[in-house]
């Protein structure tokens, strides 16, 4: 992706983007679209059945990203105006109905500082961050997917829109095997020690995080997803802080986005500031690689577990 701010920059950037696309994908076709300055990334979870019915399960705020990859997700979106929430969910449901969408999907939007939203795409799958939606709605999305494929209607599953309510707040952090000292390159090796943070209000999703597991260079650097839930954002954040502090990992470097914040819990401060507009480049704008390594003083709490206590 390249940003063009002046007409004279267009030709050069077009040629560079074309060559990059051709080299990477064998196809130089490009999309040209309006550049949204410092947007928020808000996405809506939808579910459709085989009979034309579509419901939404509210939204997630996925604005905390690095290199266009989500690292922290929150549901429901923080400080989101109710009118904007209604427009996002309504547009998502209407879009899905128009195309006859079936099963789980995510409609993604960018939201600018004025509150205007722009459609990005529909992901026709269950996404990594679906966990926070499950926590605030008490809906098992995997179970719902299977039942919809079997021909069950949303009404039969008890998933009519009026039955879906927001209950509390949930946060997901991705613990990854990345090395900030090497530009966040994935680290590999055997997990000599693995102890996760657990307890009430904490959910862990992982398939390969255990003592003795080998972290391969051939797969994504995600080690485990940590999900906290509570009656509100401060409660969920406090639980997340406790869970992450209880983690013990040795054998590979690990990285988690979390920092000391107000009221004793840890998180990026823009996550909590009233009426804040958390842009998708928030991490990049605030932190350098050196800052990531500065244990807890900045926006990333990262360290070499080989030298960590416990």
**DSSP designation for 283:** H
The β-bridge partners of 255 are 176, 302
Q: Is 297 a catalytic residue?
A: no
By three-state DSSP, how is residue 141 classified?
helix
Whether cis (ω within 30° of 0) applies to the bond prior to 76 is yes
C-alpha–C-alpha distance, residues 148 and 101, integer Å: 12
SS3 of residue 65 by DSSP: strand
What's the rounded Cα separation, in Å, for the pair 181 and 66? Answer: 16
SS3 of 263, please? Answer: helix
Catalytic residue selected from 125, 182, 297, 306: 125
Closest CA to 267 of 88, 67, 72: 72
Number of Cα atoms under 13 Å in the Cβ half of residue 222: 17
Instruction: Note whether 223 and 176 are within 8 A (CB).
Output: yes
Q: Which active-site residues does the annotation give? A: 125
């Amino acid at each position: 992706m390249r940003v063009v701010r002046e007409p004279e920059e267009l030709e050069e950037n077009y040629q560079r983007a074309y060559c990059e696309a051709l080299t990477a994908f064998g196809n130089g076709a490009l999309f040209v679209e309006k550049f949204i300055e410092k947007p928020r990334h808000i996405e809506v979870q939808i579910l459709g059945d085989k009979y034309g019915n579509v419901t939404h399960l509210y939204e997630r705020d996925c604005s905390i990203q690095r290199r266009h990859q989500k690292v922290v997700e929150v549901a429901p979106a923080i400080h989101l105006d109710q009118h904007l929430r209604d427009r996002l969910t309504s547009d998502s449901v209407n879009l899905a109905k128009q195309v006859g969408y079936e099963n789980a999907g995510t409609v993604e939007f960018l939201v600018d500082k004025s509150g205007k939203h722009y459609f990005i795409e529909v992901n026709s799958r269950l996404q990594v961050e679906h966990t926070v939606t499950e926590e605030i709605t008490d809906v098992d999305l995997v179970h719902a997917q299977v039942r919809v494929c079997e021909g069950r209607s949303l009404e039969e599953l008890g998933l009519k829109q009026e039955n879906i309510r927001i209950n509390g707040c949930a946060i997901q952090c991705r613990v990854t095997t990345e090395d900030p000292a090497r530009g966040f390159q994935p680290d590999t090796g055997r997990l000599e020690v693995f102890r996760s943070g657990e307890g009430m209000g904490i959910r862990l999703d992982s398939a390969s995080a255990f003592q003795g597991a080998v972290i391969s260079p051939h797969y994504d650097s995600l080690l485990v997803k940590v999900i906290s839930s509570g009656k509100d954002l401060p409660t969920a954040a406090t639980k997340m802080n406790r869970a992450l502090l209880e983690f013990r990992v040795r054998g590979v470097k690990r990285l988690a986005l979390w920092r000391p914040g107000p009221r004793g819990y840890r998180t990026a401060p823009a996550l909590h500031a009233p009426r804040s507009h958390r842009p998708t480049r928030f991490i990049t704008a605030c932190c350098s690689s050196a800052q990531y390594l500065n244990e807890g003083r900045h926006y990333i709490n990262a360290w070499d577990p080989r030298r960590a206590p416990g």
